[in-house]
Amino acid sequence: MGEAATRAAEAIGYAGAGTIEFIVDGSDGLRPDGFWFMEMNTRLQVEHPVTELITGVDLVEWQLRVASGEPLPATQDQLTITGHAFEARLYAEDVPAGFLPATGTLAHLVFPDSARVETGVRQGDTISPWYDPMIAKLVTHGPTRAIALRALETALVDTEVAGSVTNVDFLIALTRHPGFNRGEVDTGLIGRDLDALVAAAEPDPRARALAVIGLAGLDDPQIRGGVTLWQPLRRTIAWDGGQAVPEVLGPGAARVTLDGTSHDIRHTGGRWWVDGGPRQSRIVNHAAGTSVFGGRTVTLTPLDPLDRGGDEIGGG
């Protein structure tokens, strides 16, 4: 395919950045005569960081040099490919609803240092319905495909976004998909396994219990909120969509009753423990509520106690 793309560009005397796209028939295995031309995009692609990482070439710089009348800094036979790279597009979109675009104000936005991140937004910006809802691209590189993929999984887990629905949990689930891990990828993979991928992205009750701790203001590692004057040891916390009862048991210990089930919460050894198991969780309070990051993201939006409908009372 690389040779065919090069011949196509030479045949039309093309100069500048561009991408030739092919479609492959893999029904009987991959064959040299089993792919066909689809289209050519005469511009930089969204995926161009993948090419840059495996070739060590700055395509943007090259594009500017060619546009300025300079020759390409290297010839085709001088290019080499080293390692593997992955790119994930972080979108403001509702995956269970059919990948519908979402909107919102980014109340909290933190990217990991472990990946190359390309973004045009920052914390406090608004994702509107008038533009593409892509928040960022996360790109990782490694000497092998497996290493690059695990680096991408880690980077996605360490990404923190609040204020809009995103596809980050779906992307994490995809990096853990057995077929995707083996490189068995085709155009029907997501369609076939969408239910499993969405289910794998569903937040678990333990993460929600930690979010309740944050919403109650008990996310101090010592959980001292329950022994303050006028502050009850046990109270009900409500949010948009549910309620729970957190109870302070002592320094660094609490219990959360959620959906009829009690969860023991402790903070020890620099991490949160829920029901006796350690969590790679980070509780963050922000303008849109409380979020738990470090796996499957959970965000709870508190109810305003003064925001109550009074139509019935007013009418009486």
CA 131 to chain centre: 19
Of 186, 202, 218, the residue at which a domain comes to its end is 202
Tell which residue, 288, 302, 294, has the closest CA to residue 216: 302
Same domain, 110 and 175: yes
Counting Cβ atoms within 10 Å, is residue 215 exposed (0-12), middle (13-18) or buried (19+)? Answer: buried
Q: Are 213 and 222 in contact (CB under 8 A)?
A: no
Same domain, 271 and 214: yes
Establish if 190 belongs to a structural domain.
yes
Specify the pTM: 0.88
Please indicate whether residue 232 or residue 32 has the higher confidence score (pLDDT): 32
- Mean of pLDDT values over 256-272: 92
Whether 309 has a pLDDT exceeding 70, the answer reads: no
Establish if 307 belongs to a structural domain.
no
Establish if 311 belongs to a structural domain.
no
Per the structure, the complete domain to which residue 268 belongs is given by 205-300
Whether 104 has a pLDDT exceeding 90, the answer reads: yes
Whether 137 has a pLDDT exceeding 70, the answer reads: yes
- Categorize the per-residue pLDDT at 313 as very low, low, confident or very high, splitting at 50, 70 and 90: low
pLDDT at position 314 = 55
pLDDT at position 304 = 73
Of 173, 202, 231, the residue at which a domain comes to its end is 202
Whether 29 has a pLDDT exceeding 90, the answer reads: no
CA distance 132 to 101: 8
CA distance 213 to 220: 9
Same domain, 95 and 183: yes
pLDDT in tens, 186-220: 999 999 999 989 887 677 899 999 999 999 888 88
Same domain, 70 and 114: no
Same domain, 66 and 101: no
Query: Could you tell me which residues are beta bridge partners of residue 36?
Result: 23
- Report the domain count for the chain: 3
In percent, the amount of the chain with pLDDT more than 70 equals: 93
Establish if 310 belongs to a structural domain.
no
Of 146, 176, 202, the residue at which a domain comes to its end is 202
Establish if 192 belongs to a structural domain.
yes
pLDDT at position 312 = 54
Question: Which sequence positions are flagged as catalytic?
Answer: 43
Same domain, 265 and 183: no
CB under 8 Å to 49, separation ≥6 — which residues?
85, 87, 116, 118, 137, 139
pLDDT in tens, 46-100: 999 999 999 999 999 999 998 899 998 998 889 999 999 999 999 999 999 999 9
Same domain, 91 and 58: no
The pLDDT mean for the chain works out to 90
Tell which residue, 136, 128, 156, 106, has the closest CA to residue 299: 106
pLDDT in tens, 224-257: 655 556 666 888 989 888 899 999 888 888 999 9
CB under 8 Å to 101, separation ≥6 — which residues?
91, 92, 93, 129, 133
Same domain, 54 and 111: no
Same domain, 56 and 102: no
Please indicate whether residue 102 or residue 252 has the higher confidence score (pLDDT): 102
Same domain, 210 and 293: yes
CATH of the domain at 117: 3.30.470.20
